[in-house]
Amino acid sequence: MAPADTSSPRATLTTFIEACNEFNQLRLKERFFDRESAGFRPVVRRILDCLDTSQLPAYARLDQAAEAAVCLKEVLDRVELPPESEIPGSDEVAASETEDSEPLLRWQIPGTRIVIARVLEGPQSHEYLFSPGTVERAPDYFADLAGIPYRTVAADGVNGQFRPGVSEGLHRWYVSAPGNRAMAVLVDRLPNWTRDRIGGLALWQSGGLFLSVLASLLLISILYRFQRKRAREFRATNLVRYFLTLWFPVVVIAIPLVLKTFARDFLGLRGAPLYVVDAVANVSVLLAVPVLVFALSNRIAETIISSPNMNPRGLDAQFVRIVSKLTAVVASVAVLLEGGQNLGIPLTTLLASAGVGGLAVALAAQDTLKNLFGTIMLMADKPFRVGERIVVGKYDGIVEDIGLRSTRIRLLTGHQATIPNDELAGSDIENVGRRPYIRRVSDLHVPLDTPRERIETVLDRIRESLHNHEGHHPDFPPRVFFNEFNPDSFNIRIIYWYHPPDYWKFLAFAERLNLEIFRAFEEQGVTFSRAVRLSSASAASPTLASVAVASGDVGPSSADPSA
Q: Which of 429, 417, 323 is nearest to 382 (CA)?
A: 429
Which pLDDT tens digits describe the chain residue by residue (563 residues)? 677 899 999 999 999 999 999 988 888 887 666 666 777 788 889 999 999 998 888 777 888 898 899 999 999 999 888 998 899 999 888 888 887 778 899 999 998 999 999 998 888 888 999 999 999 999 999 989 888 888 765 444 445 555 677 888 888 777 777 767 777 778 778 887 877 777 777 788 888 889 999 999 898 888 888 777 666 666 656 667 777 777 778 888 888 889 888 887 788 787 778 778 888 888 888 888 888 888 888 888 877 877 777 766 666 777 777 778 778 888 888 877 777 766 666 655 555 555 655 555 555 455 666 666 777 777 777 788 888 899 998 999 999 887 777 888 999 899 999 988 888 888 888 998 888 999 999 999 999 888 999 999 999 999 999 999 999 999 999 999 999 998 889 999 999 999 999 989 999 999 999 999 999 999 888 888 765 443 333 333 333 333 333 333 444 444 444 34
Please state whether beta strands 389-392 and 395-402 pair in parallel, antiparallel, or not at all (unpaired).
antiparallel
Neighbouring CB atoms inside 10 A of 135's CB total: 26
Q: How far apart are CA 60 and CA 455, in angstroms?
A: 100
Query: What pLDDT is stored for residue 541 in this prediction?
Result: 34
Residue 395 has a pLDDT of 92
The amino acid at residue 240 is: V
- What radius of gyration do the chain's Cα atoms show? 44
Secondary structure, 3-state, 101-135: CCCCCEEECCCCCCEEEECCCCCCCCCEEECHHHH
Q: 185 CB contacts (<8 Å, ≥6 apart)?
A: none
Task: Sort 89 into a burial class: Cβ within 10 Å, 0-12 / 13-18 / 19+.
Answer: middle
**344: alpha, beta or left? (left if phi > 0; alpha if psi -120 to 50):** left
Pick 436-549's CATH classification: 2.40.30.30, 1.10.10.60, 3.30.70.100, 3.30.200.20: 3.30.70.100
**Beta-sheet pairing, 115-118 with 406-411:** unpaired
Q: What is the pLDDT of residue 553?
A: 46
Instruction: Residue 261: name the closest of 171, 179, 206, 339 by CA.
Output: 179
Which CATH topology does 375-433 take? SH3 type barrels. (2.30.30)
Q: Who's near 392: CB < 8 A, 6+ residues apart?
A: 409, 419, 424, 427, 428, 429, 430
pLDDT value at position 342? 66
The rounded distance, in Å, linking the Cα atoms of 47 and 125 is 18
User: What pLDDT is stored for residue 47 in this prediction?
Assistant: 92
For residue 57, what are the CA distances in angstroms to 60, 246, 344, 541?
A: 6, 31, 5, 86
pLDDT for 10: 93
Cis peptide before 500 (omega within 30 of 0): yes
